[in-house]
Amino acid sequence: LNKTLVFGVVTETLGKKKVSFVQIPSNLPRFYSIEVGNLSRLLPIEEIIRWKIADLFRNVHIVSTSLFRIIRNGDFEEVDVEDLDKNFVEEIKKKLKKRLTGRVVRLDIEGSYSEYLLKWLKKSFLLEDNNIFILNNLLDMTCLWQLVNNPIFSDQRVTPMPCVMPVSYPVHDKTKIFDTLKQQDILMHHPYNSIEIMLDLLEQAAEDNDVLAIKITIYRLAKKSRIVDALEKAALKGKHVSVLFEVKARFDEERNLENAQRLQKAGAFVVYGVAMLKTHCKLLMVVRKEDKNTVRYVHLSSGNYNEDTSKIYSDIGLLTTDETIANDVNELFNVITGNSKPYQYSRLLTAPVQMKNGLLELIRKEAKNAKKGIPSRIVIKVNSLQDKDFIDELYKASNAGVRITLIVRGICCLRPGREGLSENISVISIVGDFLEHTRIYYFHNAGEPLVYSGSADIMVRSFERRIECLFLIANPMLKQEAINILACNIKDNMNSYFVLENGNYVKETLNGEKPFSIHEHFFQVTPEEVANASLMVL
């Protein structure tokens, strides 16, 4: 009974009560259409079953019928074994089976519940009151996807905006992707820019006879992954394909194991993660022989190699042949797929070794500049902000006079706007059509801005228990693109929520201003806008 809808039926016979369960089949549609005149009504399957449930309990008095579902703990302890190729995989498989019977961490039950049933469930599953949620609407809202795809609503679906080309790369010819990247770097901003450019690089690499090797880290994949198809093709053609699959990616463990074993059969060199750490960084390197030289084509990203989520998550991806970055990425691959020791990188900040200290030092530098009267500014866009040391350093920078803007979609443990603590800090959260997944770190650096992007949020787990990577955007034009992304986030007044000093969120109001939504604007960014973008005036 995990994440499935169940009726708890309390019956009574000769003064004794009994609890029985009727599970709603998960392989049936959640909604059924009923025609009433010219209207179509959608009826949830649970109401149909409730209507006829007495037929299952003939000659028995039914006291109550209550719908509920339990959710079991999806986490499991890290696997620590010496043989990462064999024992590690077997241990993961065992733990996936245990997840089906894990500890119950949540109970959802409908508003018209039976007190007797609730007491029985609390005792049976050892539940505390704060783990029980009484709901007066549909249980398990994932069913709403069935409504979205229902033909009844076909004329009400929003047609997605067509993707546009990156500002730095207005015309794309996939047959010339190698030539293009030797001449320029490309910054992609998804979902406004399609992931197709990166896919073209990988698929061309799988076919190209001059490509010697492909290396990649994988955390979450699409259900039908063109990335795995391309890697398999490359391996079957005899290229050296090296893949790190993070088989501890929560709820994607089984899919990652299956794809890893598929690529292993094709001849790829597969690493099943790193013991005691999650590999969360997103790295791709294509090694190609060109004349007497070897050129390395690199892709770094804040988002997963997932064609499905790239259409609805906002992320940044960098394509480059820059030798400094290529050297860094090559060394990082050696660390996570081999036995190399952590390396002092030129353009990367990596966890768990030097990322946290590197970022804290950049904050301190802004604080020192502010005290000297040098213009200073920090703007950070992340999913979550939770690390106490980082928060304390931001408070110190605020008190030093640094103006700080934090764009944090999810959990934020910092309190902005408090007198004597965080007066110079503002926090906004943007929630709209697309899930904000981009991470960008901006430090004004006395007029020579340093801008990083990558996979890491400001969390203890990111700094200490994950292999993460932030990459420096050094190319001046691409740096301006990243700065413009942050500037537009700050200007958004349609999807923004302000965080108050007490931690509450308040929706931004227009107050006569012209509506501005990043989820529309990023489809029409111009080179002139990018060139003039600045965070010092916002």
Question: Which of 124, 74, 78, 79 is CA-nearest to residue 99?
Answer: 74
Per DSSP bridges, beta strands 16-23 and 31-36 are: unpaired
Cα–Cα distance measured from residue 272 to residue 534, given in angstroms and rounded to the nearest whole number: 43
Question: Which of 327, 299, 311 is CA-nearest to residue 435?
Answer: 311
The upper half-sphere exposure of residue 312, i.e. CA atoms within 13 Å in the direction of its Cβ, equals 7
Angle at 336 between CA 335 and CA 338, to 5 degrees: 65
Q: Where are the beta strands (DSSP E) in 196-245?
A: 211-218, 240-245
The upper half-sphere exposure of residue 113, i.e. CA atoms within 13 Å in the direction of its Cβ, equals 24
Answer whether 479's CB lies under 8 Å from 449's CB: yes
Q: For 355-400, write each residue's pLDDT tens digit.
A: 999 999 999 999 999 999 999 999 999 999 999 999 999 999 999 9
Give pLDDT, residue 88. 67
More confident residue, 341 or 397: 397
Sorted by sequence, the CB contacts under 8 Å of residue 143 that are 6+ apart come out as 30, 31, 44
Is 60 exceeded by the pLDDT of residue 299?
yes
Joined together, the tokens standing for residue 358 give 């590197």
Backbone angles phi, psi at 176, to 5 degrees: -120, 25
Known active-site residue 280? yes
Torsion region of 344: left, alpha or beta (phi above 0 gives left; psi -120 to 50 gives alpha): beta
Q: Where are the beta strands (DSSP E) in 48-170?
A: 61-72, 104-110, 132-135
Q: Which of 63-67, 73-77, 155-159, 482-486 is predicted least confidently?
A: 73-77
Answer whether 181's CB lies under 8 Å from 169's CB: no
At 462 the three-state DSSP class reads helix
Q: Domains plus CATH for the chain?
A: 6-156 (3.30.1840.10), 180-346 (3.30.870.10), 350-532 (3.30.870.10)
pTM for the structure as a whole? 0.90
Considering 280, 299, 437, 444, which one is annotated as catalytic? Answer: 280
Answer whether 404's CB lies under 8 Å from 461's CB: no
Sorted by sequence, the CB contacts under 8 Å of residue 97 that are 6+ apart come out as none
Average pLDDT over residues 2-12: 95
At 421 the three-state DSSP class reads coil
Q: For 225-266, write each residue's pLDDT tens digit.
A: 999 999 999 999 999 999 999 887 676 788 888 999 999 999
Angle at 279 between CA 142 and CA 310, to 5 degrees: 45
CA distances from 253 to 99, 100, 466 (A): 12, 14, 16
Is 70 exceeded by the pLDDT of residue 537?
yes
Radius of gyration of the chain (CA): 26
DSSP state of 432: S
Backbone angles phi, psi at 231, to 5 degrees: -65, -40
At 170 the three-state DSSP class reads coil
Joined together, the tokens standing for residue 222 give 């699409």
CA distances from 345 to 116, 285, 352, 381, 456 (A): 62, 16, 13, 23, 16
**Which pLDDT band holds residue 343 (cuts at 50, 70, 90)?**
confident
Average pLDDT, the chain: 93
Is 80 exceeded by the pLDDT of residue 81?
no
Tokens 């965070």 correspond to 535
Q: Which of 62-66, 141-145, 453-457 is predicted least confidently?
A: 141-145
More confident residue, 274 or 450: 450
The amino acid that residue 376 corresponds to is S
Is 90 exceeded by the pLDDT of residue 97?
no
Angle between helices 355-371 and 388-399 (to 10 degrees): 10
Give pLDDT, residue 159. 84
Is 70 exceeded by the pLDDT of residue 124?
yes
Answer whether 37's CB lies under 8 Å from 45's CB: no
Tokens 């010496």 correspond to 82
Q: For 149-187, write each residue's pLDDT tens digit.
A: 888 888 888 888 999 999 989 888 888 999 999 999 999
